[in-house]
């Protein structure tokens, strides 16, 4: 029986290369990979990988051909470790992927091919794609039965970091009903082609995922946040660049993301901050990493010993002492601490000790913290949590697609494997949506803002402008219940949005409900289309 | 504006749950299941997630715990915005018995006039066995936490009354009254569970690695179940600290109280449990904290205390300070634990019991542990403490 839901099949075309490929795994590994934002080798699971076909070629993802029966032993392998495991097939649409992969034949022979679309031989059964792949390439996740699918959904519902909404979860019994015999794992030649070191914890990709998510949400708080996010997503303008360059540490962010290093001219604070970031990432690649705060402290202590700038030494010493003291039973308040330590190196690092997770930081605010300090703290927290530890509330759907692409992309760039994944659209934060390049709102933006204000009960963001008929302003006016009584005549009464207050609201935590955000974004698109149609312009 | 101290309930991440917990959660809804594990291995978490699944599947279920304090604590962990059909086992059983048999549950004489009347399980069993017909209860589901604390007759009676679906989380090593409790074998026998089918949780789930290292140091040497394995790293872990106070060159009690209040002020959503050896120390810390008036960013943290038998239960849903005696702390969970006056714990003649007590106290903490000792030199307690500074930092 096949119970497929979703898109209808495309008519078969001889010229069209096979684009659907299947990963055979189990439901627990699938959940973990969705949480991690990466389809990856066992090293990425930090000891929680259940043996499955990913174990056979560490660091490579074996994807079976569509319309070719998956051998029974492959399916059995996916559930062999524990009795509670359910077989699961993740189907990928690789139309947006190009670059060298390996073709695997039934007898275990492997050969390099230029791309997944390369011509296949009759005996070819799978391709091996270098890990990781972003989950947005998934066309569906299939189970054998309704019971298995429901068990998968229940298991996802037990945890904070798996959101199944973007995925098509199907029952496709025929994928699991194989009587094809083929020895698995095929051991003949893989050792010649697969090096043990191919499978490494994707620490950089995870860190980048955490950072981008944090910057996406902090972008709603202020112009610097928005500028920084746009800079990282390649959509910055000159003004954004100037804003980011104002802080010597933040100014190095593009260098660090692009080159993995900072400029030679960077000052000592920038060197220390980005050194901490790099230490945190390096620590993640170790089998049993130290706690992140300890990693940061160890790094700073080493640097203190090496520091040549006498002027900075006492400040660093004091920072290290307070970072240690405030983790435990040390005395003092956060205000005292922030007063004692000023600047965009010390304050983010202190917050790193005082709060644990990204959500803790997002709900934290303090009048002494400036925008750059808060953003730099956000980057530290993003690196510490990585994408994996982010709860669903920090995984906006559009942003997740883009960020998981960037995570996979940076890992592939790092290892130079030339795999190219077509980039999805840049996500726009709400602040960007409501900040037009012209600096002025149009009627579309205003209507959408009013709708959002209404849905969120932000009535403090509405103000009413009364235009008097003549220049004579009344000295006093009367209040009658819910009415204001003005002497004289008026020309107009207009309800308008207090934009500054509204933008402040957008940056508050917790963020507005995803459903409301979705509705508002849709409304903006609809309104814009209507406006374009009315004006006779083509929005496409 | 007053600071928001609401403790955030959060589900575990997929990376937080280990393979044994995955398996415990994947057990079928129907049937009898026993999950065993030491303190901090995540038994209560799987039991709560089980109850949550039953709730979401609109099944008729009851989540039962041993005492009111645990019930109250679990209520918070379940998420205060969710309906949760939970009760203490004793209260639930009395109600159920009355409804089912149209008579009050038979009880024993109280220990003192007007006191609590324990259920007479022998009489209950007799009455239930004399019932002519057994009602089908296969549509009902019972989730039992700390299942070792209920007597074997409790389970036998329920089976006799027609209950079929049980999910019991237990730890034989943590029985409150060993003579009245159920062993693993008792539960397995009642439910006809093959020993190999009982799921064992072996890895420390609750504590950070540094706390688990300290707890492991205190693990009793003669356990009926293996000590929990160390957890993998949890970010933001801090090494436990040992502070001495009240001597020359060390902080005074008043200063320690100020530091505790400032710690709470820096992390207003965290619940800090101060675990004391007896009522005298509990009162001493309660008074010192009430008196202390340090500089704070927010209003002073709420200071709550609890003694056995107290009717008004402390609020586990709000951050702040909770002072509690060691005897009452079993099964509870705090963000930070401060063990007050460790040199005052008894019995000093029985280091094994003392060590076991330290184990249970340390394992209450999720993120941070601090030990406080007075200037009194106590070789027995000092001898129990680890000397390795990577396990316990002396401040």
Q: How many CB atoms sit inside 10 A of residue B186's CB?
A: 19
State which residue of chain B sits closest to A363, comparing Cα positions: B4
φ, ψ of residue A127 in degrees (nearest 5): -115, 155
Instruction: Residue A334: list chain B partners with CB under 8 A.
Output: 265-266, 297
Q: Do A155 and B236 touch (CB under 8 A)?
A: no
Residues A436 and A442: beta-carbon distance below 8 Å: yes
Instruction: Residue A297: list chain B partners with CB under 8 A.
Output: none
Secondary structure (H, E, C), A80-105: CCCCCCCEEEEEEEHHHEECCEEEEE
Q: Token digits for A197?
A: 């070191």
Q: Do B236 and A291 touch (CB under 8 A)?
A: yes
Q: Do β-strands A138-143 and B303-306 pair in parallel, antiparallel, or remain unpaired?
A: unpaired
Shortest distance between the Cα of B131 and any Cα of chain A, in A, equals: 38
Burial of A325-350, coded b for 16+ CB within 10 Å and e otherwise, reads: ebbbbbbbbbbebbeebebbbbbbbb
Q: Do A291 and B52 touch (CB under 8 A)?
A: no
| Per-residue pLDDT reduced to its tens digit, A310-364 | 778 899 999 999 998 888 888 899 999 999 999 999 999 999 999 999 999 999 9
How far is Cα A448 from Cα B335, in angstroms, rounded to an integer? 42
Q: Is B92 exposed, middle or buried (0-12, 13-18, 19+ CB in 10 A)?
A: middle
Q: Token digits for A16?
A: 């069209």
Instruction: Residue A336: list chain B partners with CB under 8 A.
Output: 295
Q: Do B238 and A328 touch (CB under 8 A)?
A: yes
Shortest distance between the Cα of B10 and any Cα of chain A, in A, equals: 7
Cis check: omega of the bond before A518, within 30 degrees of 0: no
Shortest distance between the Cα of B8 and any Cα of chain A, in A, equals: 10
Q: Which residues contact A259 (CB under 8 A, 6 or more apart)?
A: none
Secondary structure (H, E, C), A158-173: CCCCCCCCCCCEEEEH
Which of B368, B379, B363, B381 lies closest to B43 in space, CA to CA?
B363
Q: Is the pLDDT of residue A5 over 50?
A: no
Shortest distance between the Cα of B307 and any Cα of chain A, in A, equals: 25
Sign of the Cα pseudo-torsion (B347, B350, B355, B356, in order): negative
Q: Is the pLDDT of residue A6 over 50?
A: no
For position B115, what pLDDT does the model report? 86
pLDDT averaged per 10 residues, chain B (length 395): 80 93 95 90 90 91 84 69 79 94 93 89 92 87 92 94 95 65 89 90 82 83 63 71 92 96 95 95 96 96 86 84 90 91 86 85 90 90 90 89
Strand, helix or coil at A443?
Answer: helix
Q: Which residue out of A50, A284, A328, A364 would a mutagenesis test of the B interface target, given it has the greatest number of B Cβ atoms within 10 Å?
A: A328
Q: Do A331 and B236 touch (CB under 8 A)?
A: no
Strand, helix or coil at A141?
Answer: strand
How far is Cα A107 from Cα A109, in angstroms, rounded to an integer? 6
State which residue of chain B sits closest to A296, comparing Cα positions: B236
Q: Which residue out of B1, B10, B22, B209 would a mutagenesis test of the A interface target, given it has the greatest number of A Cβ atoms within 10 Å?
A: B22
For position A2, what pLDDT does the model report? 41
φ, ψ of residue B112 in degrees (nearest 5): -150, 160
Instruction: Residue A391: list chain B partners with CB under 8 A.
Output: 10, 13
How far is Cα A157 from Cα A164, in angstroms, rounded to an integer? 9
Q: Do B266 and A158 touch (CB under 8 A)?
A: no
Helices A397-415 and A203-218: angle between axes, nearest 10 degrees: 150
Residues A307 and A271: beta-carbon distance below 8 Å: no
A109 — pLDDT class (breaks 50, 70, 90) = confident
Q: Do B18 and A160 touch (CB under 8 A)?
A: no
Q: Do B26 and A84 touch (CB under 8 A)?
A: yes
Instruction: Scan for tokens 């609401």, then name that residue.
Output: B6
Q: Do A160 and B210 touch (CB under 8 A)?
A: no
State which residue of chain A sits closest to B12, comparing Cα positions: A159
For position A539, what pLDDT does the model report? 43
A7 — pLDDT class (breaks 50, 70, 90) = very low
Q: Please, where are the H alpha helices in A37-163? A: 72-78, 146-157
A536 — pLDDT class (breaks 50, 70, 90) = low
How far is Cα B216 from Cα B180, in angstroms, rounded to an integer? 28
Shortest distance between the Cα of B144 and any Cα of chain A, in A, equals: 19
Provide the 8-state DSSP code for A136: G
Q: Do A162 and B265 touch (CB under 8 A)?
A: no
Shortest distance between the Cα of A218 and any Cα of chain B, in A, equals: 21
Strand, helix or coil at A49?
Answer: coil
How far is Cα A226 from Cα A190, in angstroms, rounded to an integer? 47
Instruction: Name the residue facing A331 among B237, B259, B368 (closest C-beta).
Output: B259
Instruction: Name the residue facing B25 among A158, A328, A333 (closest C-beta).
Output: A158
Shortest distance between the Cα of B232 and any Cα of chain A, in A, equals: 7
Q: Do β-strands B320-325 and B271-276 pair in parallel, antiparallel, or remain unpaired?
A: parallel
Which of A293, A428, A417, A280 lies closest to A351 in space, CA to CA?
A293
How far is Cα B357 from Cα B277, in angstroms, rounded to an integer? 10
CA distances from A272 to A25, A255, A416 (A): 42, 15, 28
For position B281, what pLDDT does the model report? 96
Shortest distance between the Cα of B116 and any Cα of chain A, in A, equals: 39
Out of A178-182, A330-334, A366-370, A383-387, pick the least confident: A178-182
Instruction: Name the residue facing A161 among B14, B209, B370 (closest C-beta).
Output: B14
Instruction: Scan for tokens 């390795």, then name that residue.
Output: B388
Q: Do A160 and B236 touch (CB under 8 A)?
A: no
For position A134, what pLDDT does the model report? 98
Q: Token digits for B277?
A: 């050896």
Secondary structure (H, E, C), chain B: CCCCCECCCCCCCCCCCCHHHHHHHCCCCCCEEEEEECCCCCHHHHHHHHHHHHHHCCCEEEEEECCHHHHHHHHHHHCCCCCCCEEEHHHHHHHHHHHHHCCCCCECCCCCCCCCCCECHHHHHHHHHCCCCCCCEEEEEEEECCHHHCCHHHHHHHHHCCEEEEEEEECHHHCCCHHHCCCHHHHHHHHCCCHHHCEEECECCCCCHHHHHHHHHCCCCCCCCCCCECCCCCCCCCCCEEEEECCCCCECHHHHHHHHHHHHHHCCCCEEEEEECCHHHHHHHHHHHHHCCCCCCCCCCCEEEECCCCCCCCCCCECEEEEEEHHHCCCCCEEEEEECCHHHCCCCCCHHHHHHHHHHHHCCEEEEEEEEECCCCCHHHHHHCCCCCCCCEEC
How far is Cα B373 from Cα B381, in angstroms, rounded to an integer? 10
Q: Is the pLDDT of residue A42 over 70?
A: yes
Q: Do B23 and A84 touch (CB under 8 A)?
A: yes
| Per-residue pLDDT reduced to its tens digit, A138-194 | 999 999 999 999 999 999 999 999 999 999 999 999 999 877 777 777 765 545 555
Q: Which residue out of B235, B244, B366, B372 would a mutagenesis test of the A interface target, given it has the greatest number of A Cβ atoms within 10 Å?
A: B235
Instruction: Residue A329: list chain B partners with CB under 8 A.
Output: 241, 243, 256, 259-260, 263, 338, 370, 395
For position B15, what pLDDT does the model report? 94
Strand, helix or coil at A520?
Answer: helix
Shortest distance between the Cα of B113 and any Cα of chain A, in A, equals: 46
Which of B362, B101, B364 lies closest to B240 in space, CA to CA?
B362
Secondary structure (H, E, C), A394-436: HCCHHHHHHHHHHHHHHHHHHHCCCCEECCCCCCCCHHHHCCC
Instruction: Scan for tokens 């940056």, then name that residue.
Output: A507
Instruction: Residue A327: list chain B partners with CB under 8 A.
Output: 238, 368
Which of B311, B325, B324, B319 lies closest to B272 in space, CA to CA?
B319
Instruction: Name the residue facing A328 among B8, B17, B241 (closest C-beta).
Output: B241
Provide the 8-state DSSP code for A310: T
The whole-angstrom distance between residue B124's C-alpha and the CA centroid of its chain comes to 28
Instruction: Name the residue facing B237 among A47, A157, A291 (closest C-beta).
Output: A291
Interface pTM, i.e. ipTM: 0.90
Shortest distance between the Cα of B263 and any Cα of chain A, in A, equals: 6
Please measure the distance between the N-terminal and C-terminal CA atoms of chain A and give it in whole angstroms.
Answer: 42
Please measure the distance between the N-terminal and C-terminal CA atoms of chain B and give it in whole angstroms.
Answer: 35
Q: Do β-strands B137-144 and A60-65 pair in parallel, antiparallel, or remain unpaired?
A: unpaired
Q: Which residues contact B92 (CB under 8 A, 6 or more apart)?
A: B62, B64
Q: Across chain A, how many H-helices and E-strands are there?
A: 20, 15
Q: Do A333 and B13 touch (CB under 8 A)?
A: no
Q: Do B235 and A158 touch (CB under 8 A)?
A: no
Q: Mean pLDDT of all residues in chain A?
A: 89
Q: Do A333 and B258 touch (CB under 8 A)?
A: no
Residues in chain B: 395
Which residues, in sequence order, are bridge partners of residue A128? Answer: A62, A102
Instruction: Residue B262: list chain A partners with CB under 8 A.
Output: 331-333
Burial of A432-454, coded b for 16+ CB within 10 Å and e otherwise, reads: bbbbeeeeebeebbbbbbbbbbe
Q: Do β-strands B199-201 and B32-37 pair in parallel, antiparallel, or remain unpaired?
A: parallel
For position A178, what pLDDT does the model report? 76
Q: Number of residue pairs across A and B with CB atoms under 8 Å?
A: 126
Q: Do B53 and A389 touch (CB under 8 A)?
A: no
């Amino acid at each position: 029986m096949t119970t497929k839901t979703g898109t209808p099949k495309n008519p078969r075309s001889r010229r069209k290369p096979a684009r659907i490929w299947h990963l055979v795994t189990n439901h627990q590994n699938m959940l973990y990979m969705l949480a991690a934002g990466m389809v990856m080798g066992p090293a990425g699971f930090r000891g929680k990988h259940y043996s499955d076909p990913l174990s056979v070629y560490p660091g490579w993802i074996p994807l079976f051909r569509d319309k070719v029966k998956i051998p029974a032993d492959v399916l059995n392998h996916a559930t062999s470790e524990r009795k509670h495991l359910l077989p699961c097939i993740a189907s990928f649409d690789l139309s947006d992927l190009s670059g060298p992969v390996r073709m695997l034949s039934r007898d275990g022979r492997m050969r390099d091919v230029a791309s997944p679309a390369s011509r296949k031989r009759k005996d070819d059964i799978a391709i091996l794609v270098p890990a990781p792949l972003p989950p947005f390439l998934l066309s569906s996740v299939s189970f054998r039965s309704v019971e298995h699918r429901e068990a998968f959904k229940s298991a996802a519902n037990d945890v904070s970091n798996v959101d199944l909404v973007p995925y098509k979860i199907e029952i496709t019994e025929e994928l699991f009903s194989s009587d094809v015999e083929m020895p698995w794992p095929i051991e003949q030649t893989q050792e010649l082609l697969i090096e043990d070191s191919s499978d490494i914890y994707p620490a950089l990709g995870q860190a980048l995922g955490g950072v981008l998510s944090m910057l996406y949400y902090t972008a709603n708080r202020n112009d610097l946040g928005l500028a920084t996010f746009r800079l990282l997503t390649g959509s910055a303008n000159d003004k954004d660049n100037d804003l980011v360059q104002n802080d010597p540490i933040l100014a190095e962010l593009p260098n660090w993301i692009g080159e993995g290093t900072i400029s030679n001219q960077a000052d000592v604070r920038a060197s220390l901050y980005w050194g901490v970031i790099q230490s945190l990432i390096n620590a993640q690649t170790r089998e049993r990493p130290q706690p992140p705060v300890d990693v940061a402290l160890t790094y700073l202590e080493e640097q203190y010993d090496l520091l040549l700038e006498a002027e900075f030494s006492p400040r660093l010493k004091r920072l290290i002492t307070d970072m240690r003291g405030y983790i435990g039973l040390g005395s003092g308040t956060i205000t005292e601490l922030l007063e004692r330590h000023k600047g965009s190196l010390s304050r983010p690092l202190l917050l790193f000790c005082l709060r644990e997770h990204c959500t803790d930081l997002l709900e934290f605010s303090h009048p002494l913290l400036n925008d750059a300090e808060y953003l730099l703290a956000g980057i530290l927290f993003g690196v510490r949590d990585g994408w994996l530890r982010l709860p669903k509330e920090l995984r906006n759907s559009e942003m997740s697609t883009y960020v998981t692409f960037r995570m996979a992309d940076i890992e592939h760039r790092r290892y130079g494997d030339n795999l190219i994944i077509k980039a999805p659209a840049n996500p726009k934060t709400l602040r960007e949506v409501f900040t037009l390049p012209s600096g002025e709102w149009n009627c579309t933006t205003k209507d959408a803002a009013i709708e959002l204000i209404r849905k969120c009960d932000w009535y403090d963001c509405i103000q009413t402008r009364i235009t008097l008929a003549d220049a004579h302003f009344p000295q006093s006016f009367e209040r009658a219940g819910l009415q204001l009584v003005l002497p004289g005549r008026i020309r107009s009464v207009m309800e308008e949005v207090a934009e500054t207050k509204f933008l402040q609201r957008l940056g508050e935590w917790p963020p507005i409900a995803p459903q409301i955000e979705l509705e508002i974004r849709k409304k903006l698109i609809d309104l814009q289309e209507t406006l374009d149609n009315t004006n006779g312009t083509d929005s496409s | 504006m007053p600071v928001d101290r609401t403790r955030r309930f959060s589900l575990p991440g997929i990376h937080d749950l280990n393979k044994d917990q995955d398996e415990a959660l994947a057990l079928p809804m129907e049937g009898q299941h026993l999950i065993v594990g030491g303190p901090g291995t995540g038994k209560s978490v799987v039991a709560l997630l089980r109850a949550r699944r039953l709730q979401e599947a609109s099944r008729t279920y009851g989540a039962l715990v041993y005492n009111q304090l645990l019930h109250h604590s679990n209520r918070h962990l379940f998420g205060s915005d969710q309906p949760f059909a939970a009760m203490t086992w004793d209260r639930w059983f009395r109600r159920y018995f009355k409804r089912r048999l149209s008579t009050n549950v038979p009880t024993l004489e109280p220990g003192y006039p007007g006191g609590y009347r324990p259920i007479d399980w022998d009489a209950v069993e007799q009455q239930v066995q004399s019932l002519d017909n057994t009602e089908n209860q296969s549509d009902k589901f019972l989730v039992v936490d700390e299942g070792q604390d209920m007597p074997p007759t409790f389970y036998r009676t329920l089976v006799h009354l027609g209950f079929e679906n049980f999910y019991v989380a237990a730890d034989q090593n943590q029985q409150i009254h060993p003579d009245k409790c159920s062993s693993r074998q008792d539960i397995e026998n009642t439910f006809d569970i093959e020993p190999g089918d009982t799921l064992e949780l072996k890895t420390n789930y609750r504590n950070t690695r540094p706390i688990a290292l300290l707890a492991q140091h205190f693990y009793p040497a003669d356990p009926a179940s293996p000590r929990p394995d160390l957890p993998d790293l949890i970010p933001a872990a801090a090494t436990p600290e040992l502070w001495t106070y009240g001597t020359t060159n060390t902080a005074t009690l008043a200063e320690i109280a100020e530091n505790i209040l400032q710690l709470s002020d820096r992390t207003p959503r965290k619940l800090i449990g101060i675990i004391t050896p007896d009522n005298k120390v509990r009162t001493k810390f309660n008074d010192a904290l009430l008196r202390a008036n340090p500089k704070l960013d927010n209003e002073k943290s709420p200071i709550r205390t609890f003694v056995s038998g107290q009717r008004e239960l402390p609020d586990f849903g709000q951050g702040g300070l909770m002072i509690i005696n060691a005897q009452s702390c079993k099964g509870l969970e705090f963000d930070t634990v401060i063990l007050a006056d460790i040199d005052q714990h008894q019995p000093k003649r029985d280091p094994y019991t003392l060590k076991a007590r330290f184990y249970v106290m340390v394992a209450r903490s999720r993120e941070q542990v601090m030990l406080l000792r007075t200037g009194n030199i106590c070789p027995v307690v000092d001898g129990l403490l680890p000397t390795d500074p990577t396990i316990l930092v002396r401040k």
